C-alpha cells in the first residue's frame, strides 16, 4: 500500500514537473533530475499540496528595509529592527522584506558570498526567525549571480568541483552586442585559472559572476536553498534579476524561454511544499516584458509594478494624470492566483526602462532634469549599439517631492502623502520602503562615502535620533509617519482594497486622478480621487455616479457626503476614499 501511494505521488509530481524540465534540459538529464528533485522535496513535505488561491487579502502590507537600516549602539541591527517593528508598526504592517541579509562582498548585499549564513554583522538565523514569527518574511534569492568571493567561484578559480562547472566562460572575441545590459561595465570579466586566463559572464559587475543554469546541478543547488529559506520562515521568495538567468550567444539573453521555464518550475515546487508561500519576480524592464512573468497564471505569484513609480512621479511633477491614466487603463487585472506588488520607492533607484513607450521624450527629460535640481542622480546603462542611456533615478522619494517642474515649493509633505496614498489604493499589495515611511531625505554623506549613486537612498539611521524626530509632532518625519500609519490602518479594513478587487479608471479632468475599486463580493465600493496639483480642484460628484440609496463618506477625512450631486473642493494634493460602507 505504501509503495503504491509513493508511486502515485511520484507520477503526480512527474506530470507537473517533467514538461517544464524538458524545456530546459535534454531527456537523459530530465530523467535524472526528476528523481533528484523528488527526493529533495520528500525531506521538506510528506504531502504535496494543491494551489492556494487565497494567499492574500486587503490586510497585507509590506515594509522593505535593509537589515541595518536602523541602528542602535550596543545592539545587533536585526534586534533593533525587530524592536522597532514591534514598537511602531505592529498594527500597521503585516510583512517585511529584509533585503539580502547574507554575507556579501559588494552591491549592499546583492553579491552574496554564502546563501545559507546570516551576515554576522546583522545577527543570526534566530534573529531572522524572531521577525518571521511576527511578520511575513520576504527573503531574496539572488539567483542570477554570486560573489567572486564565494566558495563556488573560488573553486572555479582553482579548477575544483563543483564550482569549476558552475559558471559561464566565453571567448572574449565573441560578438555579444545583442546582449541587453543593465549596467555600463563589460559583460565579460577576465579570471586566472590553472588552465590559463578565462573570461566569465558578469551581467552586473566584475564581483557578481553569473551562474550557469545550463548545468542542472546549479538548479539543484538553488532548489535546496529555496527549501531552506521556506523552512526558516520565508513566506515570500523574491527572485532577484531573474530575467537574465539564461544565456544563449546571439540572443538578447533576457527573458529567454528557459528562464520562464525555471520560474514556472520553482512555482510548482514551492506550491507542492507550502502552498502559502509566494514567488515574486524582480524584473525592472518595460511594462510588457514585466507582465510576461505572470505567464499563463503559472509563473510568478506576484510581479513588481515597475511602471508605477516613474509614472506617478511624473504625474505629480507635471500636475496632470494623462500618462498615468493611459498606462493604468492598459494594465490587465492580475490573473487568478496572482497579484501586483505595488511600490513607489525601493533600495534601488526609480527605474526608467519601465517608462519606455509610455512618456514623451520631452517630458521624460524634464523629469530627469527636475530630479537633478532636487539633488538626485541619474545612473546609465550600456545599450547593444555601445551607446549609453539613463537607467534609473537615484533620489530619496521624499526629496523627489520637493516641488514640481516649476521648482521647489511648500507642498512637499502633502505631495508625498498623496503619492503613497495612490500606491496603497491600487489593485495589488502595497509595499513601503522604510525611508519613504520615515520621510528620509537624500543621504549626501553616504553618497560621498561610497561614490555610488544608489547610496543616496540607503541611509543607515541612528534609532535614538530617529525617535527624537518622531517624537516632535511638527517634524516632517513625524507628520509623514503618523499619517501614513493612520491611512494604512484604515486601508487594511476595507474589502474593496483586496489585491484582486475590481479596478476601473475614472475619466476625470487631467488635474485629477481617480479610479473605482469594488470588493470581490460587491459589498463595498471606494472611489479613490487625488488632486495632483498645488491648487484647489473642483470635483463634480455627479461624474462618479454615486448610488443615491447609499450613504457616502470619505474614509481619510471622515467627512460625510450629504448631497451626491454637489461639488467638492479638493485641497492641493488631497486624497479621497469615498465609500458606501464605513
Listed in sequence order, the residues at least 6 apart from 136 whose beta carbon sits closer than 8 Å to its beta carbon are 60, 62, 94, 95, 96, 235, 236
Q: Cite the active site residues.
A: 240
CA angle 4, 10, 11 (to 5 degrees): 90
Coarse DSSP helix, strand, coil percentages of the chain, rounded to the nearest 5 percent: 40, 20, 40
What phi-psi label fits residue 256: left (phi over 0), alpha (psi between -120 and 50 degrees) or beta?
A: beta
Q: Which alpha helices (H) appear in 215-321, and where do they start and end?
A: 216-231, 257-273, 287-291, 308-318
Residue length of the chain: 582
Listed in sequence order, the residues at least 6 apart from 479 whose beta carbon sits closer than 8 Å to its beta carbon are 413, 439, 473
Kind of pairing, strands 70-71 and 461-462? parallel
Q: How distant, in Å, are the alpha carbons of 142, 316, 477 from that of 407?
A: 39, 12, 22
- Determine contact, residues 431/63, Cβ cutoff 8 Å: yes
- Determine contact, residues 550/505, Cβ cutoff 8 Å: no
Kind of pairing, strands 512-518 and 377-382? unpaired
- φ/ψ of residue 382, rounded to 5: -95, 130
Task: List the one residue out of 135, 140, 126, 139 whose CA is nearest residue 79.
Answer: 126
Using DSSP, state whether 230 is helix, strand or coil: helix
Cα atoms found within 13 Å of the Cα of residue 252, Cβ hemisphere only: 11
- Determine contact, residues 338/293, Cβ cutoff 8 Å: no
Cα atoms found within 13 Å of the Cα of residue 220, Cβ hemisphere only: 17
Sign of CA dihedral 343, 344, 347, 349: positive
- φ/ψ of residue 76, rounded to 5: -70, 145
Grid cell at residue 403: 516641488
- CA dist., res. 349 & res. 28, Å (int): 44
Name residue 188's beta-bridge partners: 201
- CA dist., res. 154 & res. 148, Å (int): 7
- CA dist., res. 312 & res. 336, Å (int): 26
Task: List the one residue out of 142, 284, 149 whose CA is nearest residue 226.
Answer: 142
- CA dist., res. 406 & res. 393, Å (int): 19
Per-residue 3-state assignment (H helix, E strand, C coil) for 550-579: CCEEECCCCCEECCCCCEEEECCCCEEEEE
Q: Per-residue DSSP letters for 291-354?
A: HGGGTTTTS-SEEE-TTHHHHHHHHHHHT--HHHHHHHHHPPPPPTT-EEEE-S--SS-EESGG
Amino acid at each position: 500500500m505504501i509503495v503504491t501511494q509513493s508511486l502515485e505521488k511520484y507520477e503526480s509530481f512527474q506530470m507537473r514537473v517533467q514538461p517544464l524540465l524538458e524545456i530546459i534540459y535534454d531527456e537523459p538529464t530530465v530523467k535524472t533530475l526528476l528523481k533528484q528533485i523528488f527526493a529533495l522535496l520528500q525531506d521538506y513535505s510528506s504531502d504535496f499540496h494543491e494551489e492556494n488561491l487565497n494567499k492574500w487579502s486587503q490586510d497585507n502590507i509590506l515594509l522593505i528595509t535593509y537589515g541595518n537600516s536602523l541602528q542602535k549602539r550596543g545592539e545587533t541591527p536585526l534586534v533593533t529592527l525587530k524592536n522597532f517593528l514591534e514598537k511602531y508598526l505592529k498594527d500597521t504592517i503585516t510583512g517585511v522584506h529584509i533585503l539580502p541579509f547574507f554575507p556579501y562582498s559588494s552591491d549592499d548585499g546583492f553579491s552574496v558570498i554564502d546563501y545559507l549564513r546570516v551576515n554576522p554583522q546583522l545577527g543570526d538565523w534566530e534573529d531572522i526567525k524572531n521577525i518571521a514569527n511576527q511578520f511575513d518574511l520576504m527573503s531574496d534569492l539572488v539567483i542570477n549571480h554570486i560573489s567572486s568571493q564565494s566558495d563556488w567561484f573560488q573553486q572555479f578559480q582553482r579548477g575544483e568541483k563543483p564550482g569549476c562547472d558552475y559558471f559561464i566562460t566565453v571567448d572574449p572575441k565573441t560578438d555579444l552586442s545583442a546582449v541587453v545590459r543593465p549596467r555600463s561595465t563589460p559583460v565579460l570579466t577576465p579570471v586566472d585559472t590553472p588552465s590559463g586566463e578565462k573570461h566569465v559572464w558578469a551581467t552586473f559587475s566584475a564581483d557578481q559572476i553569473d551562474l550557469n543554469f545550463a548545468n542542472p546541478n546549479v538548479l539543484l543547488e538553488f532548489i535546496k536553498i529555496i527549501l531552506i529559506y521556506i523552512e526558516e520562515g520565508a513566506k515570500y521568495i523574491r527572485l532577484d534579476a531573474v530575467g537574465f538567468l539564461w544565456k544563449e550567444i546571439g540572443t538578447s539573453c533576457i527573458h529567454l524561454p528557459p528562464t520562464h521555464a525555471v520560474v514556472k518550475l520553482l512555482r510548482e515546487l514551492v506550491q507542492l511544499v507550502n502552498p502559502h508561500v509566494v514567488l515574486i519576480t524582480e524584473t525592472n524592464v518595460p511594462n510588457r516584458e514585466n507582465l510576461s512573468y505572470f505567464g499563463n497564471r503559472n509563473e510568478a505569484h506576484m510581479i513588481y509594478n515597475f511602471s508605477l513609480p516613474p509614472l506617478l512621479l511624473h504625474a505629480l511633477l507635471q500636475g496632470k494624470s494623462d500618462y498615468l491614466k493611459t498606462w493604468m487603463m492598459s494594465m490587465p487585472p492580475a490573473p487568478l492566483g496572482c497579484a501586483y506588488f505595488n511600490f513607489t520607492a525601493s533600495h534601488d533607484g526609480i527605474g526608467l526602462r519601465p517608462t519606455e513607450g509610455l512618456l514623451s521624450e520631452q517630458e521624460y527629460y524634464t523629469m530627469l532634469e527636475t530630479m537633478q535640481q532636487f539633488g538626485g542622480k541619474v545612473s546609465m546603462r550600456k545599450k547593444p549599439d555601445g551607446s549609453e542611456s539613463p537607467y534609473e533615478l537615484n533620489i530619496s522619494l521624499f526629496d523627489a517631492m520637493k516641488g514640481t517642474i516649476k521648482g521647489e515649493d511648500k507642498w512637499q509633505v502633502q505631495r508625498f502623502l498623496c503619492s503613497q496614498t495612490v500606491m496603497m489604493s491600487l489593485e495589488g499589495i502595497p509595499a513601503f520602503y522604510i525611508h519613504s515611511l520615515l520621510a528620509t531625505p537624500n543621504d549626501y554623506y553616504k553618497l560621498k562615502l561610497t561614490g555610488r549613486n544608489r547610496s543616496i537612498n540607503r541611509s543607515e539611521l541612528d534609532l535614538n535620533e530617529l525617535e527624537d524626530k518622531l517624537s516632535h509632532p511638527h517634524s516632517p518625519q513625524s507628520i509623514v509617519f503618523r499619517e501614513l500609519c493612520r491611512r494604512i490602518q484604515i486601508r487594511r479594513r476595507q474589502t474593496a482594497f483586496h489585491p484582486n478587487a475590481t479596478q476601473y479608471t475614472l475619466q476625470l479632468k487631467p488635474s485629477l486622478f481617480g479610479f473605482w475599486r469594488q470588493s470581490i463580493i460587491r459589498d463595498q465600493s471606494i472611489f479613490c480621487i487625488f488632486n495632483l496639483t498645488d491648487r484647489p480642484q473642483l470635483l463634480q460628484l455627479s461624474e462618479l455616479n454615486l448610488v443615491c440609496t447609499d450613504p457616502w463618506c470619505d474614509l481619510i477625512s471622515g467627512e460625510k457626503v450629504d448631497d451626491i450631486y454637489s461639488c467638492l473642493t479638493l485641497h492641493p494634493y488631497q486624497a479621497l476614499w469615498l465609500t458606501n460602507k464605513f
